[in-house]
Structure 1
Amino acid sequence: MNRLIAYLNDLSLRLYVRLQLFAAQEPVRLRASLTSAVLALAFVFPSISAGIAERVGYVGAVALPILVGESARKKVSPVDE
């Protein structure tokens, strides 16, 4: 049983690190994916109202660029020589 718990813990940590790397490298794609996932959940589960899905999308659209925006800005900004 301890081996299974250790494996699940290791797996969750690996997924968390991959998500962090993906967020740092592809913030626009992550934001679009999260928004699409929330809207899909609102379609599948009608109890999630469109207002809640929109709010989550807005928070993702605002919070994600703030969290990883500096690294993304450095990638697209011209480099001073």
Structure 2
Amino acid sequence: MKRVLAYLNDAVLRAYVALQVFAATEPVRLRAALTSAVMVLAFAFPSISAGLAERVGYVGAVALPILVGESARKKVTPATGDDEA
């Protein structure tokens, strides 16, 4: 039984680390996936109100860029407007 629990714990930790890496490398896709998942749950289970789904989407849209925004910001080159031609 301990071996099964150790395997499950290992799988959960690997999934958690993979999610962190994905959130750091693909914040826009993660935010879209989370919002879509909440909307699907709201559609599948009508007891979840649309307001709750919207709030979760807003929190994801605000909190995720704050949490992983710096690493994503470093990957984007800002447009300076100085075109050298």
Q: TM-score, length-normalised on structure 2?
A: 0.90
Matches within 5 A, 1:60-75: 60-75=60-75
1:46 alignment partner in structure 2? 46
Greater helix proportion: 1
Q: Cα distance, 1:63 vs. partner?
A: 0.1
Shift of 1:77: 2.6
Structure 2 counterpart SS, 1:69 = helix
Q: Deviations over 1:5-52 (max 9, x none)?
A: 000000000000000000000000000000000000000000000000
Instruction: Determine the C-alpha separation between the residues in 2 that align with 1:17 and 1:3.
Output: 21
Poorly superposed stretches of 4+, deviation over 3 Å = none
Gaps of 5+ in 2: 79-85
Provide the C-alpha distance between the structure 2 equivalents of 1:21 and 1:60, rounded to a whole number of angstroms.
Answer: 17
TM-score (norm 1): 0.95
Q: Which runs of 5+ in 1 are unaligned?
A: none
How many percent identity over aligned positions? 81
